[in-house]
Amino acid sequence: MFRRWWFVRLLRDAGPEQRSPGRRLSKDQQELVLREWEVLRDRLTGFASERVAAAGDIFRAAELRLPPEEEAARRDYLWALEAYEAAGKLLDEASDLPDLTAAVVLAERAVERLAAAHAAHAGVRPGPPVVRCFYNPLHAPVPPTPTRSPKRERQRRRLGAREAAADRRPACTACRRAILAGQTPDVLPALLPAGAAGRKSPRVLVPYYAVPQQWSPWAATGCGAYDDRAPALVLRGEHRRRV
Ligand SMILES: [Zn+2]
C-alpha cells in the first residue's frame, strides 16, 4: 500500500538542510505532503473498513458459548471480542494512518484469537501465532525462523552491520531484503503533528515508530501487533494523543 515512500524523496529533494522534521518545508511542499497523506488515509480507511467488517462476519458465524471450566478458551474468546470492539472504535475515531493500521491489526488478531478459542474448545492445538512486520504491520507476515544448526549459529556470530540491523526487528521478506541491501524499507508513515518536533515545525510524514510515545502508543506496540494490552488501552480511550 505504501510501495513508494514518496515523501522520503520529497524531503531529500528539499536539500540536506531541510531533511529533519524540525526544519522548514516550503508551503508548496507542505501542501503536497498533506494531499498525499489524505490520499493514503482515504485508501487505508476503505481497507480498514473492509477488514473490520470481515472480522464482524466471522464473529457472527463463529459465536461460542463456553462453560466456566473452559478457562483458556474463555480467555482467548474474551480477548478476541475486546480486540474486535477496539478495532471498530479505532476505525470510528482514527486521526492518522497508524490508528487505521491498528484497526486492521486488531481486527485480524481478533479473528486469529477467535480461532485459538475454537481450537482450545475442540481440544486441538492452535496454529502458531502470526508475527507482523515491525516496519509496516500491514505487510505480509514474518516467515518463521528456520531451526538454527550449529553451523548457522557460527555464521550468525560473524554478522555484518546490515544483517544485525535486519535481525533487530521482526521484518517481512521484502523489508528484510531492503535492509540487507542498505535501502529504506517500505515503512508505514505517520503525520507528525505541527509543533511536535519543535516550535513552528511543519506537519511532516515520518515513520510511525518515530512518533514520540506521548503522542501515540503505536510506536511501542507495532500498531497493537506486539502488545496484548492494546485492545483494553483503546477501549479506555488511552490511545489518543496525551499532549
Ligand atoms: Zn515489511
Q: What distance in angstroms lies between residue 177's CA and the mean position of ligand 1's atoms? A: 9
Q: What distance in angstroms lies between residue 178's CA and the mean position of ligand 1's atoms? A: 9
Q: What distance in angstroms lies between residue 131's CA and the mean position of ligand 1's atoms? A: 11
pTM score over 0.75: yes
Which residues have CB less than 5 Å away from ligand 1 (the ion)? 133, 135, 139, 172, 175
Q: What distance in angstroms lies between residue 99's CA and the mean position of ligand 1's atoms? A: 18
Q: What distance in angstroms lies between residue 186's CA and the mean position of ligand 1's atoms? A: 6
Residue 13 has a pLDDT of 43
Q: What distance in angstroms lies between residue 1's CA and the mean position of ligand 1's atoms? A: 11
Q: What distance in angstroms lies between residue 187's CA and the mean position of ligand 1's atoms? A: 7
Listed by start position, the domains of the chain span 34-137+187-243, 140-185
Q: What distance in angstroms lies between residue 121's CA and the mean position of ligand 1's atoms? A: 33
Residue 27 has a pLDDT of 78
pLDDT in tens, the chain (243 residues): 554 444 444 444 444 344 444 456 677 878 888 888 999 999 999 999 999 999 999 999 999 999 999 999 999 999 999 999 999 999 999 989 999 999 999 999 999 999 999 999 999 998 888 999 999 999 999 998 766 666 666 666 666 888 888 888 999 999 999 999 999 899 999 988 766 666 666 677 889 999 888 888 999 999 999 999 999 999 999 888 655
Residue 179 has a pLDDT of 93
Q: What distance in angstroms lies between residue 45's CA and the mean position of ligand 1's atoms? A: 20
Residue 17 has a pLDDT of 40
Q: What distance in angstroms lies between residue 188's CA and the mean position of ligand 1's atoms? A: 9
Residue 70 has a pLDDT of 92
Residue 78 has a pLDDT of 97
Q: What distance in angstroms lies between residue 173's CA and the mean position of ligand 1's atoms? A: 7
Residue 4 has a pLDDT of 44
Residue 7 has a pLDDT of 45
Residue 22 has a pLDDT of 45
Concatenating the DSSP letter of every residue in the chain gives ---S-HHHHHHHHT-GGG-STTS---HHHHHHHHHHHHHHHHHHHHHHHHHHHHHHHHHHHT-----TT-HHHHHHHHHHHHHHHHHHHHHHH--SHHHHHHHHHHHHHHHHHHHHHHHHHHT-PPPPPPPPPSS-TTSPPPPPPPPPPHHHHHHHHT--HHHHHHHHS---HHHHHHHHTT----PPEEEEPTTTTSTTPPPEEEEGGGS-TTT-SHHHHTTTTS-TTHHHHHHTTTTS---
